[in-house]
Structure 1
Amino acid sequence: MDETGLFYRDTSRQTLFIKGQDCAGGKRSKERITVALCASMTGEKLKPLLIGKSRQPRCFSKIKPESLPVIYKFNSKAWMNSYVMEEWLKQLDSSMRRQKRKILLFLDNAPSHPNIKLSNVELQFLPPNTTYKTQPMDMGIIQAMKLKFRKRQMKHMIKEMDKHPDICGTDILKQITILDAIYWVHSAWEEVQTSTIQKCFSKAGFLCENIDSDDDFDDDDDVPLSVLKLAHEVFGCEFNDLSEMDQTLSTCDNSAKDWDRPATDLLNTLESDGSESESDSDNKETNCCSVSDAHIYADKLKEFAQFHGNTRLLSSLMSASEYLNDMSLNSSKQKPITDFF
C-alpha cells in the first residue's frame, strides 16, 4: 500500500513548477487530493482510499460518502494521518478476518503509518530511503493509474471544449469536482491490468512464478490523438509527463509534530475540518430534472447506443433504466382507497 498526491483539477503549466516543492497551504492545496492504492503480488486490487478536504462536499449533493466506489475520508489538508490510516487498517483486518485470510502488508515508514498489532494483517515497514527501489507501487502501478486518470480528464476537456468553444481549457479544469475525480480514480484503478501489478512487484524484488521480472510494465493504454494534441497545446508537455507533475506532492505532514497526539484529538480535528467551505465551482446550484424527464433522456440515449451499435453503452444504460425504475417506485405515494370511489 502506498499514497500519492493528485492534482485533480488545476493541471495547467503552472502546476509543473510545484515539482520538488512541498504543497503546504495556499491556493494550490485546495486543488489536490490524496489517493492510497493497495494491491497484492498476484494482482488483487483493493478499493482505493481517497482523502479530500470536506466531510460532505457540495458536489456530493445527496450522495452519501459510504456509497461511493472509493473509501472517502477527509481532513483540512487532504493528507494522510495516523487516525485515518489506523481506521483503514482495522477495516482491512476485519475484511481479512471475514474471509478467513491472513496477509502480510508492506508499507513505507511515513510518520502517518502507525505500527499496530492486528489479528489477520501483519505490517512490515520498508527500510528508510529505499521506497523508490523496494516499493512496488513506485515501480509503475501508481503511474499507470495516473495516466489513465489523465486520459479521462483530458477526454472530459475535449468534450467540454466542443460544447463551449468560447471557454478556455483552464476554466474547464476549474469546474471539475471532487466527485468527478472519485469516479475517474475508481475507473482508472479498475483498468490497471493484473499483469502490470505483477511485473511491478517483480521489479521490486517480490518474485512471482511465471512472471518475467525483466519486462517493463506495459500501460496498454490506447490514448487518442486528440488527447495527445491537447496535452501539447494546453499543458505544453508530453502526455506521459502529466503522471509525474504531482509525483513529489506530500501526502502527510512529514514534520511528525502531530502523530504523538491521541487518536481522540485527531478525530476532533477531523470533525472540525468538515465545515470548511468549498471553492466557487462547487457552490453552484443546479436545476435537476424530474424522474420522468430522466426516463426520457435514458430512452433517447438507448436509441443512440442502438443506432451506433455500442453494446457497452447500451448495457450501462439498461442498468441506469433499472435504477430509474426503482426511484420511480420508491418516490410514488400509495393512493388511499377512497380515491377509487
Structure 2
Amino acid sequence: MQESSQFPVQVQQPVQARPTDSWLQKFAVKHSIIISDATGQTFVPVTSFTHNPDWLSTMWLATRKDYLDQDIFHVDETGLFFRLTPEKTMTCLGEHCFGGKLAGERVTVVLGTNLTGSEKRHLLVVGKCSDPQLLASIEGWPLKYASNNKSWMTNEIFESELRDWDSELQLKNRRILLLVGDCSAHPRVSNLKNIRLVYLPYHVASVRQPMGRGIFRSFKTQYRRLLILQLIDCFEKNAATSITLIDALRMLYKAWLRVPVEMIKNCFLQTGLMKSGSEGSVFEEFEDDIPLSLWLSNHSFTQFDAWKETIDWYVEADSELQTSEEPEEKDMKIEEPAAEG
C-alpha cells in the first residue's frame, strides 16, 4: 500500500469563508418521500425548479458555437469527509458542516473536466490545515491545495485558480469556454484572455449540471475504495488506522485519475450540453464504476460485512457538505447566463 508521495501542489495561504441545502429534502425528492416532524407538520419535497426550457436550444447553442466539445470545460466543488469510515456513515448523512471541529475532518474538492472527459483539470483541494510542514511535504504534487477556517471554496481561491489557468492557456495559445455554477464563491472575473467564463443560472444549474449526474459519485466511490484498501492494509499489519491529510491528498489524486473517461462523457451527454452528433449511450455502465457493496463482494473483503446494509450510502454520506457560502435568493439567476471574456 505504500507508494511514493513525491508528486506538484501549488499552495495558497488561508483566506476566510462563510455559510447549503438540506440532504433530507433532496433524499425525499429522489425517493418520493413525504416527511413529517415531531409535531406532525408535513414537508412536501419540491420536485422541480422554474427555468427557461429553451435554454439549451437557444442561449447555449449561441454561446458554444465557436467551441468544440473538447474545448468546453465544467468545474464544480464537492465536500468530502476524508477520514470517514463505513461504521460512521449514519452519523454523517446530511451533515452540512459550517465550520468548527468538523472543518478539520473535511475538505472541499474542485473537479474540472472537458465535455469529452479526455482532459481532466488537476484537483484543487481546500482544507483547514495550513501547517507549513504539510505545505512543504506536498510541494511538487500534481494538485493544488488551499486553506481557510471552514475548508470552503472562496472568491479569492476561485479567482486565483482561474487566473493561473488563463496564464497556462495563453502560453499554449488555446481558448476554452468554462461553465461554472452561479454561486457566491464564483465571482465575476474580469480581464481573462483565453477563458470565456459562462455562469449557469442557479435554477438551470440545479437541473443541468453534470457533476451531480454521476461524476461526483464515481469520484467518491474511487476514493472510498482506496481508503478501504488502506484500512485493510493497516488491519493486516496490526498498524494504526489513522488517515492523515497527506494520505487523503494522495488518494484523492488517484481517485480522480480512476474516474472513467467514458462515464464523464456520458454524464455530459445526459445534460444536452454536448453536440447532438456526439456518440455514446447515456445508459452505459462501466465495470470500474460498480457499487461499493458489489466491489467488496467481488474481492471477498469480509472485514466490512457488519455494515453491508449501509455501505452504498457510505459513498455519498457527505454529499450535502457545504462547499461555499449560500447564495441569497436575490442572487439566484433565472435569465440568460452571464458570460465573461
Which TM-score applies when normalising by structure 1? 0.66
Q: Please name the residue that 1:35 is paired with.
A: 109
Select which of 244, 269, 272 maps to 1:177: 244
Q: Deviations over 1:302-321 (max 9, x none)?
A: xxxxxxxxxxxxxxxxxxxx
1:1-341 alignment, distance < 5 Å: 1-43=75-117, 44-56=119-131, 58=133, 60=134, 62-63=136-137, 65-117=138-190, 118-164=192-238, 172=241, 175-208=242-275, 209-218=277-286, 220-221=288-289, 223-225=295-297, 229-233=302-306, 235=307, 237-254=309-326
- Which amino acid in 1 is paired with 2:96? D
* 1:47/1:70 contact within 8 Å kept: yes
* 1:200/1:217 contact within 8 Å kept: no
Q: Distance in 2 between matches of 1:218 and 1:205?
A: 21
* 1:33/1:52 contact within 8 Å kept: yes
The farther-off stretch of 216-225 and 84-93 is 216-225
Q: Distance in 2 between matches of 1:252 and 1:8?
A: 18
* 2:155/2:187 contact within 8 Å kept: yes
The farther-off stretch of 10-19 and 151-160 is 10-19
Query: Residue 129 of structure 1 aligns to a residue in which SS?
Result: helix
Distance 1:255 1:141, change over 3 A: closer
Q: Distance in 1 between matches of 2:259 and 2:321?
A: 22
Query: Residue 114 of structure 2 aligns to a residue in which SS?
Result: coil
Q: CA deviation at 1:227?
A: 7.1
Q: Deviations over 1:94-116 (max 9, x none)?
A: 11111111111111112000111
Q: Distance in 2 between matches of 1:24 and 1:15?
A: 19
* 2:223/2:255 contact within 8 Å kept: yes
Q: Deviations over 1:53-72 (max 9, x none)?
A: 122365x3852x44122111
Query: Residue 288 of structure 2 aligns to a residue in which SS?
Result: coil
Query: Residue 319 of structure 2 aligns to a residue in which SS?
Result: coil
Which residues of structure 1 form unaligned runs of 5+? Answer: 257-341
Give every structure 1 segment of 4 or more consecutive aligned residues whose post-TM-superposition deviation is greater than 6 Å: none
Distance 1:40 1:134, change over 3 A: same
Q: Higher relative CO (CA 8 A, sep ≥ 6), structure 1 or 2?
A: 2
Distance 1:210 1:204, change over 3 A: closer
Greater strand content: 2
Q: Deviations over 1:129-154 (max 9, x none)?
A: 34342111111111111101100000
Q: Distance in 1 between matches of 2:246 and 2:152?
A: 18
Greater helix content: 1
* 2:99/2:149 contact within 8 Å kept: no
Q: CA deviation at 1:50?
A: 0.5
- Which amino acid in 1 is paired with 2:214? G
Paired residues, number: 247
Q: CA deviation at 1:93?
A: 0.8
Q: Distance in 2 between matches of 1:131 and 1:121?
A: 20
Q: CA deviation at 1:194?
A: 1.4
